[in-house]
Amino acid sequence: MKQFAVIGNPIGHSLSPYLHNFVYNSLGIDAVYERKRVLKSELPQIINLIKNGDLSGINVTIPHKENIMEYLDNINPRARSIGAVNIIINNGNKLIGNNTDWFGFLMALKKNRIDPANKEVIVLGAGGTAKAILFALKQSGVNKIVLLNRTLQKAEELKEDIVFPYPLTHLAKMIKNDSIIINTTPIGMQSAQSPIDLGLIHKNQTLIDVIYTPFETAFLKLGKKIGAKTLNGLDMFIYQGLTSIDLWFGKDISNQVNFTQLKTYLESKLC
Ligand code: NAP
């Protein structure tokens, strides 16, 4: 039986074991997936577990998506460009790092008929997830990305021809009544706080949160109430997981999965 895991710290909140074990069980794949709380100092041990075959592959989450890169033999050029790895594949004698977050985000936009092509998009936060989302947005042909972060310097490090960094405090000046706004900060995860002053929310905006616990953060809740288009982080999460399975098993397994059943199952685990 193949063994997979997600590593991170903290890790108790991760829904990944539910997603992966649901897919393995429903498609009769002889594999099991677990969570592992791993400290930075323990990364070499995890790498050894993959090298000697005790683990067939891992997903990587906070805070190791960047730390893990130095231990890998190869990094996929897209993951290298994003600057973060969330999956490790063992191709025999080489460990390869890749990133499925950006693709998960693009697929979530597509499924929910959100098309940012030729538009201006506001991104809040400049951490690991923001980097994957900036990459995805550039693939989807956005015109301009307004990148707002609490620490301006981190946003400035991501400055590019279409990426314009500002401090988060400039948000009120940048928001328009028809903006597409993507929250990649954890604001709203532990409390009913909103990354946006709720008075700035308008029914013609598209509001996206990468958070899915709670299922609806405060700004999504208000946005939905007044008629804005809203999207939480669950579809992105599901697609990054399904893409990981395709990469590990080398097949188009995700096409055999009943997305609605899987999503309903995961939603039941969030209650
Ligand atoms: P990260 O690398 O630590 O980045 C966090 C970002 O949020 C930074 O830009 C940070 O600003 C900002 N931030 C944190 N606390 C803040 C606060 N109180 N006020 C203002 N800004 C704040 O984290 P990450 O890996 O990008 O993860 C961010 C979120 O994405 C988490 O909630 C995670 O669960 C979620 N996520 C979802 C998915 C999915 O599939 N749906 C996938 C990955 C991650 P500074 O630079 O100033 O510190």
Quick: pLDDT tens for 189-236: 888 999 999 999 999 999 999 999 999 999 999 999 999 999 999 999
Q: How far is CA 225 from CA 30, 71, 198, 219, 233, in A?
A: 44, 47, 12, 10, 18
Indicate the pTM of the whole model.
Answer: 0.96
The ranges assigned to domains in the chain are 2-99+235-270, 103-232
How many other CB atoms are there within 10 angstroms of residue 225's CB atom?
Answer: 11
Atom of ligand 1 nearest to the CA of 129: 26
User: Considering only CA atoms, which residue is closest to atom 40 of ligand 1?
Assistant: 237
Q: Which residues surround ligand 1 with Cβ inside 6 Å?
A: 62, 101, 104, 125-130, 149-151, 154, 168, 184-187, 189, 210-212, 233, 236-237, 240
Computed from CA positions of residues 94, 99, 103, 104, in that sequence, does the dihedral angle turn out positive or negative? positive
Quick: pLDDT tens for 170-193: 999 999 999 999 999 999 988 899
- Rounded to a whole number of angstroms, the CA Rg of the chain reads 18
> Pick the catalytic residue: 65, 94, 119, 263?
65
Helices 128-139 and 101-111, axial angle in degrees (round to 10): 60
Top-tier CATH class for 103-232: alpha beta
Out of 184, 212, 216, 232, give the residue to mutate to test ligand 1, the one with the largest number of ligand atoms within 8 Å of its CB: 184
- Distance from residue 252's CA to the centre of ligand 1 (Å): 30
> What is the helix, strand, coil percentage profile of the chain, to 5?
40, 20, 35
C-alpha angle 135/136/139, rounded to 5°?
A: 90
Length of the chain measured in residues? 271
Quick: pLDDT tens for 120-175: 999 999 999 999 999 999 999 999 999 999 999 999 999 999 999 999 999 999 99
Q: Once rounded to an integer, what is the mean pLDDT over residues 98-114?
A: 98
65 part of the active site: yes
Structure-block tokens of residue 142: 């956005």
User: Considering only CA atoms, which residue is closest to atom 18 of ligand 1?
Assistant: 187
CATH homologous superfamily for 2-99+235-270? Leucine Dehydrogenase, chain A, domain 1 (3.40.50.10860)
Q: Is the pLDDT of residue 250 over 90?
A: no
Establish whether domains 2-99+235-270 and 103-232 are of one fold: yes
